[in-house]
Amino acid sequence: MASPLSSELVFLILQFLEEENFKETIHMLERESGFFFNMRYLEEMVKNGEWDEVEKYISGYTKVEDNRYSMKIYFEIKKQKYLEALDRKDGAKALEILVKDLKVFSAFNEDLFKEIALLLTLDNFRENEQLSTYGDTNSARAIMLTELKKLIEANPVFRDKLTFPSLKSSRLRSLINQSLNWQHQLCKNPKPHPDIKTLFVDHTCGPSQPIGAHALSPVTNPLMGTISRPPGFPPLGALFPYQTAPTAPLPTNLTGWMTNPAVARASPSSGPISLIPPSISAIPKRARTPPGNGPAVDFQSADSEHVPKRTRASGTSDEISVQVNLTPVYVSPVGYSGQSSSSSEDLPKAVMMTLNQGSAVKSMDFHPTQQIQLLVGTNAGEFLLWDLSSREKLTQRNFKVWDLGACSMPLQTTLTNDYTASVNRVTWNPDGTFFGVAYSKNIVQIYSYHGGADIRNHLEIEAHNGSVNDLAFSYPNKTLSIVTCGDDRLIKVWNAVTGEKQNQLEGHEAPVFCVCPHFKENIQFIFSTATDGNIKAWLYDNMGSRLDYAAPGHSPSAMAYSDDGTRLFSCGTNKEGQSFMVEWNESEGAIKRMYNGLGKRANRPVQFDTTKNRYIVAGDEWLIKYWNMDNASVLLVSDAEGGLPASPCVRFNLEGILLAVSTSDNGIKILANSDGVRVLKPMENRSSAVKTSALTTSGATVTANATGGPSVMDIVTTTPPLTMTNTENQNSVERPRTGDEATDKSRMWKVTEISEPSHCRCLRIPDNTSSAMRVTRLMYTNSGHGVLALAANAVHKLWKWQKTDHNSTEKATASVAPQLWQPTSGILMTNDISDTNTEDSIACFALSKNDSYVASASGGKISLFNMMTFKTMTTFMPTPPAATFLLFHPRDNNIIAVGMDDSSIHIYNVRVDEVKTKLKGHHKRVTGLAFSTVLNVLVSSGADSQLFVWNTDGWEKQTSRQLQIPGGRVAAPFADTHVQFHHDQKHLLVVHGTQIAIYEAPKLECLKQWGPREASGAITHAAYSCDSQTIYVTFEDGSIDILTASTLRLRCRVSPTSYLPANPKPRVYPLVVAAHPSEPNQFALGLTDGGVCLFEPLESEGKWGSAPGVEGGAGPSTSAVAAAANATDQV
């Protein structure tokens, strides 16, 4: 690899050649050195149709097999050359191009090659429908040039090669003159007017040589005109396995699904090769997934690996799906390991329980994060929320219009005559903070969910005239929206926050049966089906459908994507009772596969669902039928121990370990696989015996330990400001009493003390490296399959759990030890630490949503690492100031919020290598950041104990608040303050050395505050569990407190004796705690001795804070404590 000075010398030579007008030599050197790609030269060649020269020039920088961008670059060039030969009626030349140039692409898509070859048989290739818009040669070249530019700018091979450095004119001449002057100064007998005749040897003055070198006159002709500055490096997705949207599989023939060309050209096309002119692109497809993405398949760079993730509900993805082949390859979501094998043993078949509903089930949906919670809608108009762990209904609501006066007069009349309705659809939004209910009478109701039984009215919309048949959540324009359809033949899109109607899509000639939002490359669209069997696709533009085709048998069909968003399925039943389930090539409207085994006498539409990117399930003929997606034949049939209706409702949970099935007696059966059994069994066996007693003293709440005497003070307030009273035995907040306190006082709860290793499952993660530096940052991978730690020496460590007989899910668990993972190269992910003292520096890191790369800093530049190869992809933002906190924008993976040690916040765009804006308000370093996508705000916290709220639309400051330090406590001068949003995206956890507090954004009203006992020392860190029901708090004495999040009550205390050796020297304690992304009762600690410990409750308990069975004095001790005076525990 050339040194930086060598490459700079090439640039100087290029400038000199330009000034001397050596045109051919310039471009030869550009191509042979590969240091600079001259986009202006490319434009000239393309406009002149010099295709051989174009290929020759580009070959100096990339080969066709380098990556998918390079392949598409070469394909577009050869395709254009072929079409121009056909346009000139030069059949012989076209045949030569086909055989010599385009034949190579037949290995990747033989059908496409055959279609291209067929163009030779046409008198005018514009007779082909997809080429009908091909204009004259000049316009076609202009369109093709635009596409080439986009592909080149997005191609990582061309990174840093598109900008010529800024040089003073005649820089090489100036350097030579400086050298000659220096040589002349070293002459023993310098002459006033030296006669310099050669540069081949060093200058020396001869006897007659005068002193003073004659400066060569500079040439002022610059090398280039103004060159637009390209991104500092390509979009993250160009470098890593994911980008801002999934990429569609390669079309297999010329029939394409077209969009508005202007829309298609809005972003670089990195999609598959096709015959369609670059100005016309296929409408992309989008899985019903939350912000996260489904992987498709295409070519990657050498540093990329395919890392799929599984999601279900509709949303916006900020990550790019990179492909590894040109034919569709479907990968199951197994984190880092790539594709895994699956068998029918993975399917949930064992009946674990039956829930008694009371009314016939119409629709079901599992909570996306709390996956043992099931939302159900019935034909009686009620919806219910079940907790499968307790088999209890958390809540149940009957059909009721919230504001009858706001309804239209026809609806009021209808409801006056018949105040009944059935539920047609229930569904959660992607993060589980909202759910929607669609009724058979005009109405859609949206509820906000705050955990447990806390469900609140959010929106009521009179959405349609007649039955609302379906609803779904989506994210057009990065705004949470609701898509509905109804008997009035309309599809409508509503703002999920305000209820305002955003779009109305018209065109169906029959009632609309189903809607399925999706997106690709930031183009949002909706599939819809009608009762007459017609299927349409729409953009959010009120300009009519973009695609129309018929479902098999003209059956009203439900549509759904596989979890990774790469495969589209539909299932429907026609008037004759015959059912059809198919997989679609949605870009063509063609059936890719029709599945066998469905009955022919269904009395209602057959419901279906998919899971694990591999399996399909349908309820049909009083049975549950399973298919492998890649096989048309039925894989497995089950009667679930009998009692099923003719066409039962079916629904998988997110991980596919549980399956809910409706029964003929208005119940629901829950089926599980081996992993689901393990999830549900401990909860069934959990002891319900609770021994409680109450202590009250001076109106304060005191938690006593087993040995007697107060040990924990739960401080909860709703009324600032706070004043603390300190006595020998109490530490509490004085606050006004509420009317509900008398009732609350009667409530009892217990604190479980865990003091022995046998009282919980604890795993100290094995580490065979010599480094024992303290762990400063810790997080789980988003897949839950690994733990990533950053040590004080700026080195990252990644542990992964492998699939074993004892851990079939590969998820992190305290029961199985993980492996310290490194790539085959053996390199380490080490942050830049030049000119920094790692002991004093503040470390920070942020992980991309698909676990494919990490941004990290340890007092130096921010490094961007590929998580598969550990290679440093780039570094940016040199110090000072140093980064102290990093956070990716939840909807745009190219935006990073960077907290700095100079108290500012930089909003940095990785794609263009530019700080977009700086936020100033803090007085000390920034120590915490948190985005809310519901409120569209960024909350920051600092070592100055201040909180700020910034609007993410214009980055203006909205609110600020000084943290309330409890009386009698003194904050350290540079105490870190951390922030984390509850999953409702409105309530904010604030962590400080003196307290845990809950604030409500965006006004930053303090709702609750909790202070630790003094014996524990300062709080070092805290974090919500993944379901936001629990808070894990760590202390300087090594203890861990586990709080109920809704009340800030202490449920459980983990003593350091349960996981640390006695009296360790030096003192060891946790610096950071991380919660598992999908297991609410699992957390990990990063310790001062460099260790990482994983914690889970005993399998017999299932969660923290349950009273264990005690035999012979063994087991955790349970302390009796009084009920809190201001709140109740949330079940």
User: In 197-251, which ranges are continuous DSSP H helix?
Assistant: 236-239
Report the range of poorest mean pLDDT among 207-221, 388-402, 806-820, 925-939. Answer: 207-221
pLDDT in tens, 764-780: 998 877 667 889 999 99
Cα separation, 946 vs 944, in Å, equals: 5
Cα separation, 98 vs 388, in Å, equals: 62
Position 274 scores a pLDDT of: 56
pLDDT in tens, 914-935: 899 999 999 999 999 999 988 9
User: What Å distances lie between residue 90 and 86, 284, 906, CA to CA?
Assistant: 6, 35, 58
List for the chain the helix, strand, coil content (%; round to 5): 15, 35, 50
Position 694 scores a pLDDT of: 32
Position 549 scores a pLDDT of: 83
- pLDDT range class, residue 691, cuts 50, 70, 90: very low
Q: Find tokens 């006595």 and name the residue.
A: 727
One-letter amino acid at 474 equals S
Q: Which residue has the higher pLDDT, 242 or 941?
A: 941
Position 721 scores a pLDDT of: 34
- Tokens standing for 291? 């912000």
- How large is the average pLDDT for residues 445-471? 92
Strand pairing of 819-821 and 796-800?
Answer: antiparallel
Per DSSP, the three-state class of 1108 is: coil
User: In 51-166, which ranges are continuous DSSP H helix?
Assistant: 51-58, 68-87, 91-97, 110-118, 137-154
Sequence-distant (≥ 6) Cβ neighbours of residue 399 within 8 angstroms: 380, 381, 382, 419, 420, 421, 423, 439
- Tell whether the model's pLDDT for residue 1045 goes beyond 70: yes
- Tokens standing for 311? 């999601």
Q: What percent of the chain has pLDDT over 90?
A: 37
- Tell whether the model's pLDDT for residue 715 goes beyond 70: no
Cα separation, 38 vs 42, in Å, equals: 7
Per DSSP, the three-state class of 70 is: helix
- How large is the average pLDDT for residues 761-765? 93
Position 968 scores a pLDDT of: 59
Report the range of poorest mean pLDDT among 237-246, 667-676, 930-939. Answer: 237-246
CA dihedral 18, 22, 25, 31 (to 10 degrees): 30
Sequence-distant (≥ 6) Cβ neighbours of residue 658 within 8 angstroms: 348, 366, 371, 372, 388, 652, 670, 671, 672, 676, 679, 680
Q: How far apart are the first and last CA of the chain?
A: 62
- pLDDT range class, residue 34, cuts 50, 70, 90: confident
Q: Which of 187-196, 738-747, 977-986 has the highest mean pLDDT?
A: 977-986
- Tokens standing for 120? 């030779």
SS (H, E, C) 348-375: CCEEEEEEECCCCEEEEEECCCCCCEEE
Cα separation, 1095 vs 1078, in Å, equals: 14
For 490, counting Cβ atoms within 10 Å of its Cβ (0-12 exposed, 13-18 middle, 19+ buried), the class is buried
Q: Which residue has the higher pLDDT, 252 or 991?
A: 991
CA dihedral 48, 49, 51, 55 (to 10 degrees): 40
pLDDT in tens, 588-641: 678 889 999 888 777 778 899 998 888 999 999 889 999 999 999 999 999 999
Closest CA relative to residue 845, chosen from 802, 788, 917, 803: 788
- pLDDT range class, residue 1109, cuts 50, 70, 90: very low
- Tell whether the model's pLDDT for residue 252 goes beyond 90: no
- Tell whether the model's pLDDT for residue 75 goes beyond 80: yes
CB 505 within 8 A of CB 495: no
One-letter amino acid at 102 equals L
Closest CA relative to residue 849, chosen from 783, 930, 931, 935: 783
Position 193 scores a pLDDT of: 66
Rounded to the nearest integer, the mean pLDDT of the chain is 78
Position 328 scores a pLDDT of: 28
pTM: 0.47
- pLDDT range class, residue 3, cuts 50, 70, 90: low
Cα separation, 30 vs 178, in Å, equals: 27
- DSSP letter for 795, please: B
Per DSSP, the three-state class of 942 is: strand
- How large is the average pLDDT for residues 727-753? 45
Residue 314: alpha-carbon gap to chain centroid = 12
CB 800 within 8 A of CB 786: yes
Q: How many CB atoms sit inside 10 A of residue 916's CB?
A: 11
Closest CA relative to residue 82, chosen from 137, 152, 142: 137
CB 52 within 8 A of CB 158: no
- Tokens standing for 815? 């029961």
Position 1035 scores a pLDDT of: 93
Per DSSP, the three-state class of 1038 is: coil
- Tell whether the model's pLDDT for residue 732 goes beyond 70: no
Cα separation, 688 vs 1131, in Å, equals: 13
Q: Which residue has the higher pLDDT, 309 or 490?
A: 490
Q: Where does 963-1082 show beta strands of DSSP type E?
A: 978-981, 987-992, 995-1000, 1005-1010, 1019-1024, 1030-1035, 1040-1044, 1049-1054, 1070-1075
Give DSSP secondary structure letters for 236-283.
Answer: HHHHSS--SS--PPPPSSS---B--HHHHTTS---S---SS-TTS-BP
H-run or E-run covering 42: helix 39-47
User: What Å distances lie between residue 583 and 469, 596, 630, 632, CA to CA?
Assistant: 23, 12, 10, 10
Rounded to the nearest 10 degrees, the angle between the axes of helix 39-47 and helix 51-58 is 160
Cα separation, 119 vs 112, in Å, equals: 11
Q: Which of 125-129, 161-165, 425-429 has the highest mean pLDDT?
A: 425-429
- Tell whether the model's pLDDT for residue 576 goes beyond 80: yes
- Tokens standing for 493? 């899109």
- Tokens standing for 33? 């050195």
CB 150 within 8 A of CB 76: no
- Tell whether the model's pLDDT for residue 729 goes beyond 50: no
CB 817 within 8 A of CB 763: yes
Q: What percent of the chain has pLDDT over 70?
A: 77
Sequence-distant (≥ 6) Cβ neighbours of residue 871 within 8 angstroms: 303, 827, 865
- Tokens standing for 173? 């001449």
Closest CA relative to residue 832, chosen from 857, 798, 865: 857
Cα separation, 648 vs 636, in Å, equals: 16
Report the range of poorest mean pLDDT among 184-198, 239-253, 384-398, 653-667. Answer: 239-253
Give DSSP secondary structure letters for 824-853.
Answer: TT----B---TT--TTTSPEEEEE-TTSSE
Cα separation, 156 vs 235, in Å, equals: 9
pLDDT in tens, 101-130: 888 887 777 778 888 888 888 888 888 878
pLDDT in tens, 169-180: 888 888 888 888
Phi/psi of residue 680, nearest 5 degrees: -90, -30
H-run or E-run covering 676: helix 674-684
Position 506 scores a pLDDT of: 92
Give DSSP secondary structure letters for 797-818.
Answer: EEEEPPPBTTBTT----TTS--
Closest CA relative to residue 564, chosen from 242, 277, 857, 952: 242
- pLDDT range class, residue 738, cuts 50, 70, 90: very low
Beta pairing partners, 575: none
pLDDT in tens, 338-382: 333 445 778 899 999 999 888 899 999 999 888 889 999 999 999
Sequence-distant (≥ 6) Cβ neighbours of residue 415 within 8 angstroms: 401, 404, 407, 441
Beta pairing partners, 1030: 1044
Per DSSP, the three-state class of 1083 is: strand
Residue 280: alpha-carbon gap to chain centroid = 29
- How large is the average pLDDT for residues 885-902? 90
Q: Find tokens 């009282």 and name the residue.
A: 759
- How large is the average pLDDT for residues 820-837? 83
- Tokens standing for 434? 């909202």
